[in-house]
Amino acid sequence: MEKEKVIAMDGPSGSGKSTMAKNLADKLDLTFIDTGSMFRTLGIVLDRLNLKEGSDEEIAQALANLNIEYMPTADILISVDGEDFTDKIREHHVSELASIYSQKPAVRTFLLNFQRSLAKSRVCVMEGRDIGTVVFPQAFCKFFVTASSDVRAQRRVDQLKEKDPSGTYNFEEIKADVEARDKKDMEREIAPLKQADDALLLDTSNMSPEEVLNKLVEVSKAKATELNINL
Ligand code: DC
């Protein structure tokens, strides 16, 4: 079967895969696509419509009326009906909304089609949970990025401290949060977080960002050459 011109980068939250996918896309001059931002955006939009308990039909109908745009301008990551969600999706409570609504079949189907349409016209590095398994099972290059929950919780604490240096953060609570979210992502029925059989596992717990980027570039280029894909 023909390979798709996508580099799939999956893994749990806090594994650093967003930064890595972005660095890789910059290095190879490809488009970076952050699918978590889409689940976060729809989490907010659907919650405003009070659809937490909504049926699949109700959710599908609500989604059919939305005009969702990914990177409509250089400054906007994602918008819906002209409203910019770039900053709103990074608020703390949105993680929970994204996690809840990402379990709805109608949401996953809608975003599956949206993500596939984005990759039609360009080679991209797409980052998420199910890119190599469900969205692009024929992606020519797949990575599964992870790190220990201690390392991921510490990265989260560092991020929060950078945003608000005067805040106090409980490491154990944050670690429990990270582990609970992994469990939910791995145990959900549709498109759970799972390493694709043909994905390269990259544990970044003891790797510097430079080491990770070098490895990603090396493997992507080798795969592209092997499969005659022009990056
Ligand atoms: O990567 P993130 O933390 O921004 O993702 C937010 C939520 O969306 C998270 O609970 C997992 C979910 N998600 C998903 O189910 N599938 C994806 N491809 C990307 C994110």
> What residue spans define the domains of the chain?
1-30+123-224, 34-122
The H-or-E segment that residue 225 falls in is helix 209-226
Domains 1-30+123-224 and 34-122 share a fold: yes
β-pairing verdict for 31-34 and 124-128: parallel
The percent of residues above 70 in pLDDT, for the chain, comes to 100
In eight-state DSSP terms, residue 192 is -
Q: Tell me the per-residue pLDDT of 12-28, one tens digit each, with 9 for 90 and over.
A: 988 889 999 999 999 99
- Measure the CA–CA gap between 71 and 88, rounded to whole angstroms: 15
Q: Give the pLDDT score at 66.
A: 95
Q: Whose CA is nearest to atom 13 of ligand 1?
A: 36
CA angle 87, 85, 92 (to 5 degrees): 50
- Tokens (6 digits) for 196: 């694709």
Nearest CA-CA partner of 194 in 137, 151, 148, 153: 137
Quick one: 1-30+123-224 is in which CATH superfamily?
Answer: P-loop containing nucleotide triphosphate hydrolases (3.40.50.300)
Closest protein CA for atom 18 of ligand 1? 128
Q: Which residue has the higher pLDDT, 92 or 109?
A: 109
pLDDT at 148 over 80: yes
| Ligand 1 and 128: CB distance under 6 A | yes
Distance 226 CA to ligand 1 centre (A): 31
Mean pLDDT of the chain: 93
Confidence of residue 187 (pLDDT cuts 50, 70, 90): confident
Angle (CA) 161-149-96 rounded to 5° is: 70
Give the pLDDT band of residue 160 (cuts 50, 70, 90): confident
Give the CATH class of 34-122.
alpha beta
Residue of 90, 9, 75, 113 whose CA lies nearest to 43: 90
> What beta strand segments (E) does the chain contain?
4-10, 31-34, 68-70, 78-80, 83-84, 124-128, 139-146, 200-203
| Cβ 98 under 6 angstroms from ligand 1 | yes
pTM of structure? 0.92
Q: Give residue 204's pLDDT.
A: 92
Which pLDDT does position 92 carry in this prediction? 82
Ligand 1 atom nearest 181 alpha carbon: 10
At residue 184 the predicted structure's pLDDT band, cuts being 50, 70 and 90, is confident
Cα separation, 124 vs 118, whole angstroms:
9
**Residue of the nearest CA to atom 11 in ligand 1?**
99
Provide mean pLDDT across the span 159-169.
87
Does residue 115 line the site of ligand 1, with CB under 6 A? no
Q: In the structure, what pLDDT confidence band is assigned to residue 55 with cuts at 50, 70 and 90?
A: very high
Q: For position 116, what pLDDT does the model report?
A: 97
Helices 105-118 and 35-48 meet at what angle, rounded to 10? 140
